[in-house]
Structure formats: structure tokens, C-alpha cells
Amino acid sequence: MRGRWRTVAELWEVHKQPNTTVDLLSQVDYMGKLSGQLAADEGFRLVYASSGHPTAAVLSDGAPVVDYTLFCVRCETSEEAHFLASVINTRTLEHAVAKWMPKGQFGSRHLQKHLWRLPIPIFDSADDLHAELAVLGAQAESEAAECYRALSAERSVAGKPTTIATARRELRAWLQDSALGNRINGLVERLLARSCD
């Protein structure tokens, strides 16, 4: 591995732009985005996609490294992370942020630039609405995992792989059509309306 790294680092030095002063390691760890993830073996992270329908998930294991197509928010508690995931995964949020998101060939883009323009409040465990969204978010995570297992088994029997795009599409459809998803959506409508008052 050391030999490969040396080779790649030498190629970087030969081919980088003349005005680039950083070495390969500094480029890979730009602004500490990689080392910050590797150092975080505890706590919770909310991860959301930068394009397409707003989609978020909670990571409680420090092992996964988030790549450049996802954005990561550190959360103090699992409740905070599930609260935010509940908000981001709703039709209400999708409709509210759509006016700012440019459309690309494959759908909406640059959620990260516009998501936090919405009046999403800081999580407050003493607020009944926040607490209920956190509980429902954790329940949705558990039920979504079951749906994913069933989807993967069904597609496996049919000889079809379960791609990320398929999983996202099917889980979003499940969440939007389920009683749980509709309950969360209604609460997020109240939350955003209350924040605008």
C-alpha cells in the first residue's frame, strides 16, 4: 500500500496545477473532511444526498466514510439525528426546497446549498413536536430496514440487483404511502409553519 501511495503522490506532484501548493494527502483530506470522519468513532451523523429527492439517513457507526456526493451533519444524540432525518425525508420539505434547487439532467441538484435556508429549528428534546418526530424517525428507520431486506430478497429471487437508485426510489415510495410517513409529513408541516410564525 505504501508503494502505491508513493506512486500516486508522485503522479500528483507531476500533474497538479502549477498554482496548487498542497501535497496529495492535503488534497485528499481537504479541510479535514476525511480525517474528521475517521476520528469520529462515536456519536451520530445525519447523512443526506446532494441531488435528487431529499433523502437522509442516520449513521451511528463511525466506520462508514462519507464521499463527496453526500453531506454529513454531526448530531449530539440519536434523537437529534432522527428528528432531522424525519424532516428531510418528507414531501413537505421536498416541496418547500424545490423552488431553490436547479434541475439537472437527472433531477434536482445542490440540496446542500438550499436545505438550511428553510426554517428548520435546532432540535430541542423538551419540545413535544421535536420529540415525537425523533421517535417516529427512529421507527421509520427500523421499518425502512425491514422494507429494504424484503426488497432485496424479492429482487434476488428475480435475479435482479438492488441498486442504490432502486432502494432510494422504493423506500421513498414506501415512506410517502405509509401511515407512518403521512404522520411524519403532517408533523413536519406543523413544524415548518410554526417556525415561520
Say yes or no: 18 and 87 in one domain: no
| pLDDT tens-digit map of 143-159 | 999 999 999 999 999 99
The DSSP H or E segment spanning 129 is: helix 128-157
10 or 42: which leads in pLDDT = 10
| pLDDT tens-digit map of 21-53 | 889 888 887 777 666 665 555 678 888 887 777
Say yes or no: 24 and 91 in one domain: no
User: Quick one: pLDDT band at residue 135, thresholds 50, 70, 90?
Assistant: very high
Which residues 6+ apart lie within 8 Å of 90 measured at CB?
A: 181, 184, 185, 188
**Is the pLDDT at 191 greater than 80, yes or no?**
yes
**Is the pLDDT at 106 greater than 70, yes or no?**
no
Secondary structure, 3-state, 148-168 = HHHHHHHHHHCCCCCCHHHHH
Say yes or no: 111 and 188 in one domain: yes
Say yes or no: 108 and 183 in one domain: yes
What residue numbers bound the domain in which 187 lies? 75-196
Longest distance between any two alpha carbons in the chain, whole Å = 60
This prediction has a pTM of: 0.76
| pLDDT tens-digit map of 52-67 | 777 888 887 666 666 6
Residue (of 140, 87, 137, 86) closest to 115 by Cα position:
87
Say yes or no: 88 and 18 in one domain: no
Beta bridge partners of 156: none
Say yes or no: 21 and 80 in one domain: no
Say yes or no: 90 and 149 in one domain: yes
Q: Is the residue at 150 inside a domain?
A: yes
Number of domains in the chain: 2
